[in-house]
Amino acid sequence: MEPSDPRLVDLWPKGSHSQEQEAVILSRRLQQTAMVCLSQDQFFIRHKLSTFEALLMVIYNLSHNESVDQGWALLGMALNIGIALRCNVDSQGLNHLETERRRRCWVGILTLHTYQAILFRDIDMSFLLDIKTTLPADVNDNDITPEGISQPSSAPTQMSVMMFKVRLFRISTQICHHISGPSRLEVEPLNKFDAIIAEEQRRWDSTYLVDGAPNILDSSYAYWCILQTYAHQLYLLLHRPFRHSRSSCFLETSRERCIASSVALMGIHRQIYEVPLLRPYLWLLRGVTSLKVLHAAVALNSCLLDVRSPFESGSYREEFNKLVLRMKSLSRRSAICLKAYRILLQLQPQFGAENQQLPNSGTPFESTIEDWTDMREWFGADLFNWVRYENCDCSTPD
């Protein structure tokens, strides 16, 4: 919800001059309250499905409002609680409703691990693929009763996007395992994974688009956009070793793929920010999605700097500059977006301009930012000259 929402007006202190800041304070207070409630229930030693579901929501909220890594310890705990509650196996004596609740919780664990796999890809999640489980039914909530499950609908259900995310978890885990191993520079696996991602994208098109165009009647287009951010993130990770002309395994098609996926990610970010149909999903830009688009901006800059033949960079620079403004606006309610905004400011002077040098930050900015694979290093305290931007105007532009 936006701070200007009439339903929130009674929550703001009288005389408050910054509803944005009040919204941040309220959000964090609610997050802390949720953690206190979980602690009071002794969730770490008393395992109940209801508190387990609440824990998953807390981790999800952290990923989308604070930072993915802040939920890492809780996610490890959640995995073990899920196993203790036998969410990964079908227990005897449970009705259909209780069984589906457990199956859905397990899917939630897997999808939360997807964030870790593709944003911090050196963490091998493949052990989770070895845990055999039954997936939940692809049905709407009201199709499930204690007595049984209604026949699945031919239309997308409330669970369809989660089922796609589970497939993405498996694919991203396999890809991240590959790019951390000895075969990462081989073309054959590259082509294989490219084809797998493209096939998933075709599935999304057939499920959520209408004759290739957005479905404006429900949430279908929003789900399509969300899924596409994963696909393009994976393309960037796959093609990174092949995209630079100085690399011994350079492929021009990989550089083109990186440019196309970077532009696509930035375009989706812009649509979620600007398009009224997607306005209810604006909160997605305060966490994981903005991390992905920061990755895209860095990748695009690296690729454009490597292009030696003349090309028109105006459209790319325009898209980049719009992204900087969006991050500036979003930074009022997101620590991730504030840090991303500062990083983009340092990239902005040399974006797409050959042989330009970045301002001296006192650290090897360019060589570190060139490695797209682990964004934890990008937010390190020593990498950037934060003092330079200490007094920058991070207010929302008019």
Residue 124 CA to residue 51 CA, distance in Å, equals 28
Residue 146, Cβ neighbours under 10 Å: how many? 10
Residue 370 CA to residue 324 CA, distance in Å, equals 19
Residue 277, Cβ neighbours under 10 Å: how many? 16
What does 42-79 look like in DSSP terms, one character per residue?
TTTTS--HHHHHHHHHHHHHHHHHT-GGGGHHHHHHHH
Nearest CA-CA partner of 227 in 111, 327, 64, 133: 111
The pLDDT tens digits of the residues spanning 219-234 come to 999 999 999 999 999 9
Give percent of the chain with pLDDT exceeding 70: 82
Contact criterion met (CB below 8 Å) for 175 and 167: no
Residue 259 CA to residue 372 CA, distance in Å, equals 14
What does 225-265 look like in DSSP terms, one character per residue?
HHHHHHHHHHHHHHHGGGS-TTSTT--HHHHHHHHHHHHHH
* Band of residue 22 on the pLDDT scale cut at 50, 70, 90: confident
Rounded to an integer, what is the distance from CA 272 to the centroid of its chain?
13
- Domain residue spans of the chain: 20-127
Name the DSSP class of 384.
S
Give percent of the chain with pLDDT exceeding 90: 52
pLDDT at 6: 67
Residue type, 301: N
The pLDDT tens digits of the residues spanning 36-77 come to 999 999 998 899 999 999 999 999 988 877 667 778 889 999
pLDDT > 70? residue 249: yes
What pTM value is reported for the model?
Answer: 0.86
**Section 211-215 average pLDDT:** 90
**Section 1-9 average pLDDT:** 67
What H or E segment, with its residue span, contains residue 383? none
* Band of residue 352 on the pLDDT scale cut at 50, 70, 90: low
